[in-house]
Amino acid sequence: MRRSFLPLLLVLALLFFACAAANLLVAIPATNQHGKRTTPVANLFGAEAAAKGWPAATPMPWPIVTQWSADRGFAYRLSVAWSGPTPDATTHQMVFEEFGWPLPVLDSVRLSWPWDDPKWTTAVPPDSGIRVRWFGLTLSSGAMAVAIWLVLFGPFHLWTAARRWRRRSMGACVQCAYPLRGAPRCPECGWAASNQPS
Ligand SMILES: [Zn+2]
């Protein structure tokens, strides 16, 4: 087929940017979680918490996680991990929030540690602020764009491909279905078989 892929690429690019915008429009309100409904899904201690580990990168190797909890809401995931000798005496804490649906496209990390102890001194800020997750945003928008394209245009392309195949197998013009009877060019619409390497 000698059709240009430019229109297809343009449509996919438009869909991609529309989906990226939609992803951000869903994620941004989720960053304001105050007073919203979230459901606790896990609260682990000891070995189970240690196995989960810190939900995001720590500025330096931090002590082992002693408590780990997770909450979920629409377009929202909260993971909190603590470390300390007892649950009442935590020395390190990480609050990791992820925003977006179906994949997180924004996140933020808030850390607290014994900042006045030289052992834990770091230049990493305690609050990352809201960050864009480019990988999640690209993947989410790309998958949505392809899915929407398939729903909108997939049946049409399948149908035209099937019709093209049926006409060619019948020896008819692919363009207008006029019987070619071996003619190299369609006498009805001018379509040329040589245009169509198959
Ligand atoms: Zn024709």
Tell whether 96 and 180 lie within a shared domain.
Answer: no
Tell whether 121 and 187 lie within a shared domain.
Answer: no
Are the C-beta atoms of residues 196 and 174 closer than 8 Å to each other? yes
Check residue 77 and give its pLDDT. Answer: 95
Are the C-beta atoms of residues 133 and 105 closer than 8 Å to each other? yes
DSSP 3-state assignment of 191?
coil
Instruction: Assess if residue 107 is contained within a domain.
Output: yes
The C-alpha atoms of residue 32 and residue 45 are separated, in whole angstroms, by 28
Q: Ligand 1 center to residue 173 CA distance, Å?
A: 5
Tell whether 47 and 108 lie within a shared domain.
Answer: yes
Half-sphere exposure of 13 (CA within 13 A, CB side): 6
Check residue 1 and give its pLDDT. Answer: 47
Q: Ligand 1 center to residue 149 CA distance, Å?
A: 29
Instruction: Assess if residue 16 is contained within a domain.
Output: no
Tell whether 40 and 98 lie within a shared domain.
Answer: yes
Q: Which residues of the chain have pLDDT under 70?
A: 1-3, 193-198
Instruction: Assess if residue 19 is contained within a domain.
Output: no
Q: What's the order of all strands across the beta sheet hosting 76-83?
A: 39-45, 67-73, 76-83, 92-99, 106-112, 131-132
The C-alpha atoms of residue 114 and residue 78 are separated, in whole angstroms, by 23
Number of domains in the chain: 2
Secondary element (H or E) of residue 82: strand 76-83
Domain boundary among 129, 144, 172: 129
Q: Ligand 1 center to residue 55 CA distance, Å?
A: 63
Check residue 7 and give its pLDDT. Answer: 86
Q: Ligand 1 center to residue 8 CA distance, Å?
A: 25
Instruction: Assess if residue 97 is contained within a domain.
Output: yes
Tell whether 125 and 182 lie within a shared domain.
Answer: no
The C-alpha atoms of residue 159 and residue 140 are separated, in whole angstroms, by 28
Find the domain containing 84 and state its range: 32-129
Q: Ligand 1 center to residue 193 CA distance, Å?
A: 10
Q: Ligand 1 center to residue 10 CA distance, Å?
A: 29
Instruction: Assess if residue 142 is contained within a domain.
Output: no
Q: What is the pLDDT of residues 33-51, one digit of tens each?
A: 777 789 999 999 999 999 9
Check residue 34 and give its pLDDT. Answer: 72
105's tokens: 């496209």
Instruction: Assess if residue 58 is contained within a domain.
Output: yes
Q: Ligand 1 center to residue 157 CA distance, Å?
A: 19
pTM, 2 dp: 0.76
The C-alpha atoms of residue 134 and residue 113 are separated, in whole angstroms, by 28
Instruction: Assess if residue 137 is contained within a domain.
Output: no
